[in-house]
Amino acid sequence: MPVQHYAWKPKKVNYSLDEKEREAKLTKLRSNEYHPLKPITVTESSLVKISSGEGHASNSENRSTKSHSSSGKDFIDPLSMLSIEDPLTSATKVTKPSKAVCVKNEDEIKEDLTSSDVSWMDWKLDVIPRHTTDQSLANSMMSMVKSGKKDKPGRNVQVSSVSDKLRDRLGQLDEFSEASVQEMLNLSQQDFMNRIHSLNLTLTDAWNTNQKVKSLKLTIQCAKLLVDASVMQFYPSKFILVTDLLNTFGSLVFDRIFSMCKGMDPNNIIPEEVPESAKEICLNWILKIASIRELLPRIYVEASIVKCNEFLKKDQCKSNLIRLNAMTRGIGNPLVALYARTYLSYIGMKHLPSCKGHFKSCFYDFVVTYKQMYTTPIQNLLAHQKINMESYLSFYTPALQWILSCVSHNAHDATLTEVLEKCNTCGNNLVLFDSCISSFSSEYVAARALVLCAAVSKSDDKLYPKFRVLKSLGKKLIETEPPSGDKLTILNETWKMLVKVRNPRDYINCAVVWVEYAAKYFTHKETNTVLADIIKHMTPDRVYEKFSVELQTVVVCILTHMPDFRSIFTMDKFLSFFDMFQKDGQRVTVCKIVAEYFIQNQEDTNQNASDATTISGLMYVCRTIHDSINALSIEDDITSASSLICGVLLKINFGKDFEQQLSFYVECRASFSGLDPVLATLVHSVNQLSGKVTKIVKGKHTRKTSAFVRACAAYSFITIPSLLDSATKFGLYLESGQIALISQCVTQSDAMYRAGLGTIMDLVNLPAKPSLENPFLSHVSNFLSSLLTVPDNTEQGVLFLLRSFLNIISESGSQIRPDISCAIYIKVLSLLTAYSQDHTDQQIRTLQQSSDTNRNLRRVEVQLAQVQERKNTLQDLNTQLQNRNNELETERVGLLSIQDQFAPLQRNHTQLQRDFSAIRQQLLTLQAQHESLRGNYTKLGRAKNCSDVNKHLPSCAVIRQWGYTTSGHAMIDPDGQGGVKPFMVYCDMDTDPTTGITVIQNDIQPNRTIQGCDEPGCLRVAVNYAQVSMLQIQALMSISLACEQKIRYDCLDSKLLKDGTAWWESRDGERMNYWGGAAPGSGKCACGMNSSCYDARERCNCDADVERWLYDEGYLRDKSELPVTALKFGDVATNRGEMGRLTIGALKCKWNANMSVPSCAALRRAGVVGTRVYKVDPDGPNGPIQPRNLMCQLPAYTGDFSATSTDTGTAVVVQTTDPDLYVFSDCGQQPGHVGPTNNLCNSTYTGSNVHVRVERGVQLWRVPRNGRYHITTKAPGGYHRIVNRTARGAVASGEFHLRGAVQMKILVGQRGHMFGGSGGTFVIMMDGEYTERPLIVSGGAGGAAAPNGGTNYGISDASITSDAKSGSVTNNMGGRGGTNGGGGEHGSSSGGGNTPGGGAGYMRNGGNSPDRRFRPLPTPAYATKGTNNPADSTAPGTGGTYNYNNRATYNGGFGGGGSGAKNAPGGAGGYSGGGGGVVDGFSGGGGSFVDSGRVTNHRIEASNRGLGEVRIRYLGESLIINQEMRENN
Amino acid sequence: MATIEIKLNKPNKVYHEGEIVTGAIIVESKTSLAYQSVSLTAEGVAALTLSAKSVGRLESMYNSVKPISLFGHSIELARQGKIPAGTKSIPFEIPLKPHGSIKWLLETYRGVYISVQYNIKCLLKRPLLNKDLTKETEIYIEYKSGDRANNKPIKFNINPNSIKNANSQAEIPRFSVRGRLDSNVCCLTKPMTGELVVEASENPIRSIELQLMRVETVGSPDGFAKEATEIQNIEIGCGDVCRGLGIPIYMIFPRMFACPTVDTPNFKIEFELNIVIVFEDDRMISENFPIKLTRF
């Protein structure tokens, strides 16, 4: 790239056009965004001040209320004295010493708050902290316990004389059987609370664990604790703890009973609708509790469950409460009685707030018993506990207050008057007055304040101090204003009484209230008097030191109620009141409070603004605050102090008297020099002042005003340097500079800017705030933008400030981050652009102003010259910048040269790319070669081609899977790398289309001659496998699913197995006594398995031992025994011409573990035994059908089916993955006349969704749920070796509505043996216990006369009607099929021989074969119906049996198949049994049946050649069943 | 395991004479259950014992009075058969009619010396080697009609002069209690009420109690044996109660131990109420009121 030089030119800007745009931008500024002209500190400080002010205010208010309520002598918990922000935190705070209550409280809050206006919760919170005792309960309680125990025995003797036994029984509830409560007596207060808490938990636990009596006992014992009033200080708290527990109990009982009444409103219980059982339980509880012996526990516990009475009878609750109220009269101790009444009124309030009567009677009863406190027992007790009467009475107040507040809740005035009258009549009524006043509504009290006052003054205050009453009265009057005429009289009256109070604590407690009264309703004059009196009272002996909190409250009261600060400070006693706060901390706190109030309440700044007294007072206050700050003060203190002072200063306003305002600020600066924020505020205020003045004179300063603004500028200039924070400093310099400029003090402004420039470098390292631009940068841009308006200094030359700024920047070196400095330069550029405009707004306006005002032409000239000069300077700067640009250009050129160097590299790159493509070409060629090589490999089948492949595949099956489908030799490594070495095998890919067969050859030539000796086992033939070790073979077999080896022995007059003549040896060298094709361990050859040997008596053809060539051959398939390692022969003596020929096939293995197999049947044919889940893929891995995991039940394969047979009946598929499909098979039992066993089915169905119980071969299954089900039954096909000649069983299907849990009997038909008829498949629904209803039945297929092939004598498929088919009608000798569930007739034959039986029907047995030639005699096929005589040992559905001369069995299949006879098939089972056949004829198929009343969409066809099976599929919900269920319910 | 249960149609099991007890025997078994018979017996017996105190310990052991049969009923519900697995319910009915000479069915009652009980017992006999299944349940008989409680208040005064069996009148501290019982023929199901006022007492009072006594009298060849038992004790005043203030008397009769007053030739059940005042110095003063309890 060629180097380009650009000339720098300023962009022309039309400001007037931009105006709108800019305004839009300006308005977008949010208030909290940084703006240089905005006095940030001030707003912030005012915010802080307000919030903290509120906090303090609420604190102190709460303190005041708290201290009102706490009486002098009570123990005051310091924690509870803290503020109460919300009920929850207060609950935790206040009750910190008593966790028990705390936990309970939270539960109750809602309940209490909603239940009544009179809040029990508040009451509790009030009482608990007041009535605690830090003395341990132990001592005093112990003494009581001792005396109590002493007393008891005498009495017990008398009582026990009545009847020990009965007493025991009655006393069950009374006695202290639980050790837990007994321990209570020795506890300290804290322990006591914990104890109650844990009892509370135990109670709930006991309740939940159904130990209802235990929980009742616990409750009673706890209630009993209230009898003991020995430690009276604690009694109210104890009362609350125990009543909490009672409430828990009450609600438990209520909830339990209520839970039995469904759908009732707890507030409106209708007894008539409560169920009897609930009433019974309720009554039980009530009676149980009514029999509690002791009075007090009885009252409490009855009260706790009083609500339950509502279950029995309407309004029972109310009458019970009234009765309980009356019962409290029996309590001797007035305190205990009073608290019992309190609980009753609480219960009343909670459940029946509308019923008021009993509250009043509560109170009246108390008034009657009130005099009791003078009786000797009580007086003795007081003396014993060293409690004076006053504090004793104070234990009454909370309870009294509660009761009275219940009385007064929504009460009519007349009631209250009546109550008051009552109080008046009895003696010592101050405590009553006190309670009345504090409980009654304030309006009522206020209206009668004067009367009450008079009554109080008349009363005798020996026992109960008056000041408490006065305090309560005062509080109420503050709430509501008394009649205006009475106000002063009341104050005078009370104060008269108050003056007499000697105890300073009592005095101040009360005075606090009345000061508030005075401040609220009177002017400063009266308040002043009151204050004077307080000072008089508090001064002696410096008692005020002890009551700083109360005194502080006084200040707060005055501040709250006298918003006018002028009048506050005019009170001469107010500041002298401050003298009482001697300690520094206190005074500062008070001052802070005053400042807060001032800031908060003085909205109206003009009113008090310039009053000298107020200001001096406030200055005093502020100074005090200021002086409290020292080097050791913490950050928060400093912030709050400065914000308070700032707040005050901002409020003080002298209006138009600017001079005075300025001098005030000067004074302030002197006073508050220590606080940066205050100074900053002062500078802001002065700037504001200056701005205001400029505004007033509209920019035209007079001599006086200009002097004033200069003074302001000077003030700022002097003040700013004393600030510590450089950012503030810089900001203030800028601000002051701008103000000075506006006020036309150019010189001053210059000085400001210069000073600002001096500090600018301090800002470099300001910490960046997130999400804002770099602070330094923002300050700089602030500075630069204000420079735009600054006129140039005539002496210093054009753009002096900018230049010095640039100097500073360029000298700063690495202090400024390069990106920042770059940004600064850009900003300078834009500044210069603004400068260079011909018409600039800002500047011209200022200049015009000044020219207008001064009319100073010279100045204009100078300005013009300046402009000119400025232009020149701009040129200079331009040149400078151009130079810089040149420098950059040089750098660029350098870069270009680097680029030149890069060019050869690029050439290299292209070269490389070319190389790469060549390599790729080569690679492709190689690939093509590889392909052809691979083709070669497969075509040639040359093993050596494989030898260079490192990794060998495990078996031919896998090789085939990999796509090599041509047979040939291959190296395989069955156990992968390691283990046995890879070895060479032949892969047969052609025989089995689904898998490759691994073939291991042996060294035995086919038809090897065996001849030479006579003794059994005398001739040994060892079998060696070509270059393959036994370990390698084992490895192969272990990964293969199936292996086989063909074995054949041709014999000429040579025995094989008979007499142990010959045998073969297994892998482990064990002697094996069976031959290929026979079951392992059977000792037979293949022909022996079905008795078809040459000599039917022998087990092998060869064993006939005749002089002709015979042979035995078959496959060995037991993987655990293969391969054959050796064979031993005998009976092949050369001299006798005996000889044999041996052929041992290769060992062939197929399928790998985890490989898909074509079918279960294939597996079974391959000799795999056992039940396991296999991946079945009928069309191979490449076919469209996805493989499925099926459980294959593979019984030992003993049949004579050749490997080519496509018979599918050799494996059972039992598992499906469909959750709604239930598949029932014969569990692998077939063929045979007996059904499967329970164990067999359970193991077959393992892992499937079918669960059955098998009874006598019938599978009992319960319908899983209501619904529609589609049932398919398949009866097994007939028995024929050639598949398409097999007779077909019926397949019946249909939909049924079944009810859940109904028992179904499922009988899956089985094939018979050879000539035996097949059974039918039945699905029978149980109706109740015994009634069977067949739903769907498919008939079995008839048998054939030549099941092994040969002549085709015809077959008979199952019948698709309910009537069965008859046997073949050759000669009319076939048996007739049954009809309507009947059995088939037996077939016939001349002379009774070879007669097959008929199939059984559902109702009747099949006709029995009359053949009596062989024993055991044939049995008939049994009917399927289950109601056969239970005594009959034969299971229903059992097939007929027939044994042909002990050689072969021709049993019928399970499911009613008839027995066959030689060459004559038996009739099939079904709904009706098929008729038996005749020799060389077929037998009849069974009838099928569908219950047409229940089925829909049914279908029957004779199509099944496979096994019997039942499939039941859940289709969905059944409306019919649901309807039925509803009707039945 | 098979279980057998008697389920009555009335949940509270309370019946009156002439009514028919209906219900069902529930047999539950996991396997089918063969049985020889299922039978049900209901009987009511009043059993009497002689108190050891009144006739001597030895006497009471062997000289117990013959129980009086009040009612008997027995039915066979099923003859030999088999119950299939599951739950089977066999319903039954028993009419409640008194036995021969007995005129009416007494109320169920369980005392120390006298008890009247009505039981229904079910027996399922099983074949040899199997344990028979039995289950017994009690039903409660209540009178259908009888005397009605009256409403005649009884006033009383207790003071040193009213005490009859004191050793010496002089030692008794001075006191005066007056009061009233609302009735002396009380209904069992309703509380006993009244009022009591301590007008004066020299000694402080510790407690005021109501003591309900039951007197059972059993006739024997040697005469009558009479036994009193405290069946309930209720405190109505605790501590030194306020003078001149009416304290309510309120007591609910215990369901288990109280019954209507009975007077038969063989035995009697009667009730008494004692008002007991205990002073702080353990002195005790008791006033006795015979009361009659009725069901109505």
A521 half-sphere exposure, CB direction, 13 A CA radius: 23
CA A1313 – CA A1492 distance, rounded (Å): 33
> In chain A, which residues have their Cβ closer than 8 Å to the Cβ of B192?
none
Q: Is A326 on the interface with B (CB under 8 A)?
A: yes
Express each pLDDT in A1456-1510 by its tens digit: 888 888 888 888 999 999 888 888 888 888 999 998 888 888 889 988 888 888 9
Q: Of A352-356, A1068-1072, A1291-1295, give the range with the top mean pLDDT.
A: A1291-1295
What ranges in A5-98 are assigned the alpha helix state H? 15-28, 40-69, 87-94
Q: Is the pLDDT assigned to residue A109 strictly greater than 70?
A: no
**pLDDT band, residue A71 (cuts 50/70/90):** very low
pLDDT above 70 covers what percent of chain A?
Answer: 76
Task: Report the run of H or E that residue B46 belongs to, with start and end.
Answer: strand B33-48
Tokens representing residue A1036 in the block: 């192969």
Of A1033 and A1429, the structure prediction assigns the larger pLDDT to A1033
- CB spacing of B238 vs A1329 below 8 angstroms: no
- Res A90: pLDDT: 35
Q: Is B12 on the interface with A (CB under 8 A)?
A: yes
Of A850 and A1036, the structure prediction assigns the larger pLDDT to A1036
Please name the residue of chain A whose CA is at the shortest distance from the CA of residue B213: A162
Fill in the DSSP letter of residue A287: H
Express each pLDDT in B105-152 by its tens digit: 888 888 878 888 889 999 888 887 778 888 888 888 888 777 777 778
Give the gap in angstroms from C-alpha A169 to the nearest C-alpha of chain B. 9
- Res A1337: pLDDT: 92
Q: Is B6 left (phi over 0), alpha (psi -120 to 50) or beta?
A: beta
Q: Number of residue pairs across A and B with CB atoms under 8 Å?
A: 108
Of A276, A287, A369, the CB nearest to B255: A287
Of A154, A276, A295, the CB nearest to B237: A295
- CB spacing of B239 vs A331 below 8 angstroms: yes
Of A1488 and A1106, the structure prediction assigns the larger pLDDT to A1488
- Res A113: pLDDT: 38
- Res A91: pLDDT: 37
Contact by Cβ (8 Å): A682, A662 = no
CA A340 – CA A403 distance, rounded (Å): 11
> In chain B, which residues have their Cβ closer than 8 Å to the Cβ of A298?
234-235
- CB spacing of A332 vs B239 below 8 angstroms: yes
Of B240, B248, B280, the CB nearest to A327: B248
- Res A1266: pLDDT: 86
Give the gap in angstroms from C-alpha B242 to the nearest C-alpha of chain A. 6
Q: Is the pLDDT assigned to residue A70 strictly greater than 80?
A: no
- Res A1273: pLDDT: 92
Q: Is A369 on the interface with B (CB under 8 A)?
A: yes
**pLDDT band, residue B94 (cuts 50/70/90):** confident
**pLDDT band, residue A9 (cuts 50/70/90):** low
Mean residue pLDDT across chain A: 73
Of A154, A293, A327, the CB nearest to B282: A154
Among A72-81, A1026-1035, A1194-1203, A1318-1327, the minimum mean pLDDT is found in A72-81
- Res A94: pLDDT: 35
Burial of A622 (0-12, 13-18, 19+ CB in 10 A): buried
- CB spacing of B204 vs A376 below 8 angstroms: yes
A1418 phi, psi to nearest 5 deg: -65, 150
- CB spacing of B242 vs A329 below 8 angstroms: yes
Over range A1212-1226, report the average pLDDT: 71
- Res A951: pLDDT: 63
Express each pLDDT in A1301-1322 by its tens digit: 888 999 999 888 888 888 999 9
Express each pLDDT in A545-576 by its tens digit: 777 777 777 777 777 777 667 777 777 777 77
**CB neighbours (10 Å) of residue A935?**
10
**pLDDT band, residue B256 (cuts 50/70/90):** confident
B21 phi, psi to nearest 5 deg: -80, 120
Q: Is B283 on the interface with A (CB under 8 A)?
A: no
167-196 in chain B: CB under 8 A from chain A:
191
Q: Is the pLDDT assigned to residue A99 strictly greater than 50?
A: no
Radius of gyration of the CA atoms of chain A, in A: 57
Give the gap in angstroms from C-alpha A139 to the nearest C-alpha of chain B. 23
Tokens representing residue A1152 in the block: 């790998």
Give strand pairing partners of A1292. Answer: A1273, A1500
Tokens representing residue A542 in the block: 């410096």
Instruction: Walk across the sheet containing A1170-1176 and list its strands.
Output: A1170-1176, A1188-1194, A1212-1213
- CB spacing of A330 vs B282 below 8 angstroms: no
The end-to-end CA distance of chain A, in Å, is 97
Give the gap in angstroms from C-alpha B197 to the nearest C-alpha of chain A. 10
CA A721 – CA A1327 distance, rounded (Å): 107
Contact by Cβ (8 Å): B77, B28 = no
Q: Is B235 on the interface with A (CB under 8 A)?
A: yes
Express each pLDDT in A1134-1180 by its tens digit: 887 788 888 888 888 888 777 777 777 777 777 777 666 677 776 66
**pLDDT band, residue A1291 (cuts 50/70/90):** very high
Residue of A152, A220, A279, A291 for testing the chain B interface, max B β-carbons within 10 Å? A291
Of A287, A368, A1329, the CB nearest to B245: A368
CA A791 – CA A1389 distance, rounded (Å): 142
CA A205 vs. chain centroid, Å, equals 27
- Res A1338: pLDDT: 92
Residue of A295, A298, A362, A379 for testing the chain B interface, max B β-carbons within 10 Å? A295
Nearest to A1122 by CA among A1148, A1088, A1155: A1148
Per-residue exposure over A264-275, b if at least 16 CB sit within 10 Å of its own CB, e if not: eeeeebebeebe
| Contacts by residues A499-506 (CB-CB < 8 Å, ≥ 24 positions apart) | A499/A533, A501/A465, A501/A466, A501/A467, A503/A72, A504/A537, A504/A538, A504/A543, A504/A546, A504/A547, A505/A72, A505/A546, A505/A547, A506/A72, A506/A465, A506/A467
- Which SS3 state, helix, strand or coil, does residue A1514 take? strand
Q: Of A655-659, A718-722, A1242-1246, B154-158, give the range with the top mean pLDDT.
A: B154-158
Among A22-36, A334-348, A361-375, A444-458, the minimum mean pLDDT is found in A22-36
Give the gap in angstroms from C-alpha A514 to the nearest C-alpha of chain B. 39
Express each pLDDT in A379-438 by its tens digit: 777 777 777 777 777 777 777 777 777 777 777 777 777 777 777 766 666 777 777 777
Q: Is the pLDDT assigned to residue A308 strictly greater than 60?
A: yes
Q: Is B274 on the interface with A (CB under 8 A)?
A: no
Of A50 and A202, the structure prediction assigns the larger pLDDT to A202
Nearest to B83 by CA among B143, B24, B126: B126
Over range A948-952, report the average pLDDT: 55
Tokens representing residue A522 in the block: 């009177």
Give the gap in angstroms from C-alpha B247 to the nearest C-alpha of chain A. 6
Please name the residue of chain A whose CA is at the shortest distance from the CA of residue B53: A163
Q: Is A761 on the interface with B (CB under 8 A)?
A: no
Give the gap in angstroms from C-alpha A421 to the nearest C-alpha of chain B. 20
Give strand pairing partners of B212. Answer: B232, B273
66-105 in chain B: CB under 8 A from chain A:
84, 86
- Res A938: pLDDT: 63
- Res A1312: pLDDT: 84
- CB spacing of B229 vs A163 below 8 angstroms: yes
Task: Report the run of H or E that residue A1076 belongs to, with start and end.
Answer: none
- Res B292: pLDDT: 87
Q: Of A237-251, A844-858, A946-960, give the range with the top mean pLDDT.
A: A237-251
Tokens representing residue A883 in the block: 């130079």
- CB spacing of A1329 vs B84 below 8 angstroms: yes
Over range A34-47, report the average pLDDT: 40
- pTM assigned to the model: 0.47
Bridge-based pairing of strands B133-142 and B14-16 is parallel
- CB spacing of B239 vs A287 below 8 angstroms: no
Q: Is B215 on the interface with A (CB under 8 A)?
A: no
CA A1397 – CA A1382 distance, rounded (Å): 14
Give the gap in angstroms from C-alpha A198 to the nearest C-alpha of chain B. 29
- Res A1322: pLDDT: 92
**pLDDT band, residue A147 (cuts 50/70/90):** very low
Express each pLDDT in A430-472 by its tens digit: 777 777 777 777 777 777 777 777 777 777 666 677 777 777 7
Of A166, A293, A326, the CB nearest to B229: A166
- CB spacing of B11 vs A280 below 8 angstroms: yes
B220 half-sphere exposure, CB direction, 13 A CA radius: 24
Q: Is the pLDDT assigned to residue A1037 strictly greater than 90?
A: no
**pLDDT band, residue A156 (cuts 50/70/90):** very low
- CB spacing of B238 vs A327 below 8 angstroms: no
String of DSSP letters for A793-844:
PTTT-TTHHHHHHHHHHHHHGGGS-HHHHHHHHHHHHHHHHHHH-SS-HHHH
Over range A1246-1265, report the average pLDDT: 85
> In chain A, which residues have their Cβ closer than 8 Å to the Cβ of B214?
none
> In chain B, which residues have their Cβ closer than 8 Å to the Cβ of A336?
239
**pLDDT band, residue B287 (cuts 50/70/90):** confident
B262 phi, psi to nearest 5 deg: -120, 140
**CB neighbours (10 Å) of residue A906?**
10
- Res A1336: pLDDT: 92
Fill in the DSSP letter of residue A265: B
> In chain B, which residues have their Cβ closer than 8 Å to the Cβ of A163?
112, 229-230
- CB spacing of B233 vs A293 below 8 angstroms: yes
Q: Is A290 on the interface with B (CB under 8 A)?
A: yes
- Res A1294: pLDDT: 92
> In chain A, which residues have their Cβ closer than 8 Å to the Cβ of B112?
163, 165-166
**pLDDT band, residue A176 (cuts 50/70/90):** very low
Contact by Cβ (8 Å): A1121, A1080 = yes
- Res A1321: pLDDT: 93
Nearest to B196 by CA among A597, A327, A1296: A327
Q: Is the pLDDT assigned to residue A738 strictly greater than 70?
A: yes
Q: Is the pLDDT assigned to residue A29 strictly greater than 70?
A: no
